[in-house]
A = this chain, B = another copy of it.
Amino acid sequence: MMKIKRINHIAIVVDDFESALTFWRDALGLEIQKVEEVPEQQVSIAFIPLGETEIELVKPTANDSGIYKYLQKHGPGMHHICLEVEDIEAVLASLRAKHIRLVDEEPLISKGGMKYAFIHPKSTHGVLVELYEQPTI
Contacts and interface: CB of A to CB of B under 8 A. Distances in A.
A99 to B, nearest CB: 9
A2 B28 contact: yes
Contact of A51 (B1, B52, B75): B52
Interface of A is mostly: mixed
Contacts of A4: 28-30, 50
Interface stretch (A37-45, A61-69, A105-113, A119-127): A119-127
3 tightest A-B contacts by CB? A6-B51, A76-B126, A77-B126
7 contacts: A2-B29, A4-B50, A6-B51, A20-B125, A23-B100, A27-B95, A76-B127
